[in-house]
Amino acid sequence: MGRFHRHSDGTVHAHDHDHHHDDRRDVGDHSGYTETGTERIEVLEHILAENDRIADANRRDLAAAGVRTVNLMSAPGAGKTSLLRRTIVALGERLRVGVLEGDIATSIDADALSGLGAQIALVNTSAGFGGECHLDATMVRAGLGRLGLESIDLLVIENVGNLVCPAEFDVGQDARAMIYAVTEGEEKPLKYPVMFRTADVVVVNKVDLLPHLDFDMGTFLGNLRDVNPSAQVIHASARTGEGVDEWCAWLSDLAAAERDRPQP
């Protein structure tokens, strides 16, 4: 095409010189060009725009199948899987539950949930470079393909145990739930505000351990309110079963809201 190229080593030359000399060089808007031979391009894209597009696709597919979805997040060891075992059993015939189980490399959690009557699909997150700490919309999309959505009312996406990364990645959920163990101390809402701010409900787990801890519930709830004034709080123990009914009621309300609402 007779175009001049400037290579990274500084050489400038043209290919296929066909006498279309660059008489167009002074034509057009060159205001975005700087003196150093670079052009500044306005990108103005959200950093996670691609993830969010796929998350929206997930949300549309789930809504079309009549499935309500909750993104379950917590630090490692807060009790997501234990609470989920209780939850699946307690919901029993009331709701058909599906679980997308995010795990770095193992099927330990998925195995712990099998045989309880819920559909389980495992999403190992070790495949993507830099993606091992959370589920993103693409991983969830792959997992959805392994579930029979038509026979699920409530999908629980059990995210990877981590207080940082899962908070930033929309996966197409209707609501975000957080499990927080009282063994984690009172100050975490201020240290990990992104996750606490986005939670619709915070299940304060392991309350059976309170007599053995210095955990101050008032201080924790104050910190939580400081970053998230509107989240519902449920006190629970996956070990004793305390609070599981209230948690199941919250999930049932979420699932019912979908059925009442006309499909778009």
In the complex with another protein, which residue's Cβ is closer, 154 or 195? 195
Query: Would you count residue 38 as binding another protein (CB under 8 A)?
Result: yes
Which position among 134, 176, 188, 206 is part of the footprint of another protein (CB under 8 A)?
A: 134
- Rounded Cα distance between 72 and 80, Å, is 7
Piece of 36-44, 137-145, 199-207, 247-255 that binds another protein (CB under 8 A): 36-44
In the complex with another protein, which residue's Cβ is closer, 115 or 229? 229
- Rounded Cα distance between 241 and 222, Å, is 25
Token look-up 């660059």 returns 22
84-123 mask for another protein (x: CB under 8 A)? ----------------------------------------
139-178 mask for another protein (x: CB under 8 A)? -----------------------x-xx-xxx---------
CA distances from residue 162 to 34, 74, 93, 103, 189 in whole angstroms, order as listed: 44, 6, 31, 11, 13
In the complex with another protein, which residue's Cβ is closer, 87 or 138? 138
The arrangement of strands across the sheet holding 175-181 comes to 119-124, 97-103, 154-158, 68-73, 175-181, 201-205, 232-235
Which of helix, strand or coil describes residue 208?
helix
Q: Is the dihedral of CA 106, 110, 111, 112 positive or negative?
A: positive
Which position among 55, 75, 113, 118 is part of the footprint of another protein (CB under 8 A)?
A: 75
Piece of 37-45, 91-99, 141-149, 206-214 that binds another protein (CB under 8 A): 37-45
Q: Give 222's contacts (C-beta < 8 A, 6+ positions apart).
A: none
CA distances from residue 197 to 41, 152, 168 in whole angstroms, order as listed: 33, 28, 11
**Least distance (Å) between residue 70 CB and another protein:** 22
Binding site for another protein (CB under 8 A): 3-6, 8, 12, 22, 24-25, 33-34, 37-51, 75-76, 129-134, 136, 162, 164-165, 167-169, 190, 192-194, 197, 226-227, 229
